[in-house]
Chain A
């Protein structure tokens, strides 16, 4: 799966007005296992992320934006572009 996941996540955090801790709490509420530090590393592009973890983060941000009356900014794993290297 390709695309700039770090940039997508950073943009999602900005859209929601969230810190890494906010996202950690929201992803924990969904059953996610990433720590706030893990999330920071993913957003900085220093750590790769798998399908389930990504979808937990995307759901957390999208639902958080919905709570604020905002459009969902995140794409789910199956919506990400496939990049051939």
Chain B
């Protein structure tokens, strides 16, 4: 008799997935929760891992058992294996028995050495692109039957949407943070240019060139030069070396050497 899918468990896991707020944890947290829910939903799976392409390479981004990345490494090393095939072909790939001869002998051997006797790899597709692959591992042969494959494929589809949303969320979050930092830096540099324009009676372009030359001469990043100028200019009389500061601003172009 083929083991059946527990519909209530699958529904419960799918519901948990649909309620997942991607901003509640890091991207890694989201991926790990997806992998955990997968193992809960697809009963024959003893553990799971998610393969995610990054910078032209593949890596097991998260796993519910440390054996998963060790097994996956065999396919990353050879550039071929069931989860890479699932990613490349966008199809479900089943290894019914790692003890039997077949494609990906290195992967089969390493998996069998770890006591994994059958695997199921599924593409994770969202918005017409494959965002990763879900890999399920079982310690018995022929663990993943047709109904399991169908259930896992449905689950992988939902998980892919969560993964794509999480990636989009964190990409936007990173961009927002970087933009905030950039605006802060830009404001400081504009202030420094204004101070130089007043001190040197020059235009904004000339003020920027002065900053560049000071940055080169002192081997200090331009934003740091600007920060010092603004800091010095905003000091009240008696706070420090005011005459010296004014002198340094006035002589920012001293090493110009007539270029």
Query: Footprint of B on A, CB under 8 Å?
Result: 25-26, 28-31, 51-52, 55-56, 59, 63, 66-67, 76, 78
How would you classify the secondary structure of chain B's contact residues: helix, strand, loop or mixed? helix
Counted as pairs of residues, one from A and one from B, with CB atoms less than 8 Å apart, the total is 43
Q: What is the distance, in angstroms, from B172's C-beta to the closest C-beta of chain A?
A: 13
Interchain residue pairs with CB less than 8 A apart (7): A26-B182, A28-B182, A31-B190, A31-B208, A66-B221, A76-B216, A78-B259
Is the CB–CB distance between A25 and B222 below 8 Å? no
In the complex, which of the residues B179, B185, B216 contacts A30, with contact meaning CB atoms closer than 8 Å?
A: B185
Chain B: number of interface residues, binned into ranges: 20 to 34
Is the CB–CB distance between A30 and B186 below 8 Å? yes
| CA distance in complex: A29, B205 (Å) | 16
Is the CB–CB distance between B208 and A29 below 8 Å? no
Is the CB–CB distance between B208 and A56 below 8 Å? yes
Is the CB–CB distance between A55 and B208 below 8 Å? yes
Interface membership of B193, Cβ < 8 A: yes
A29 in contact with B182 given A52-B205, A59-B222, A78-B259 (CB within 8 Å):
yes
Is the CB–CB distance between A59 and B215 below 8 Å? yes
Is the CB–CB distance between A31 and B186 below 8 Å? yes
| Contacting residues of chain B (149-183) with chain A, CB-CB under 8 angstroms | 178-179, 181-183
Which residue in chain B gives the minimum CB-CB distance to A26? B182
Is the CB–CB distance between B212 and A29 below 8 Å? no
3 A-B pairs closest in CB distance: A29-B182, A29-B185, A63-B221
Q: Which residues of B contact A51 (CB under 8 A)?
A: 205
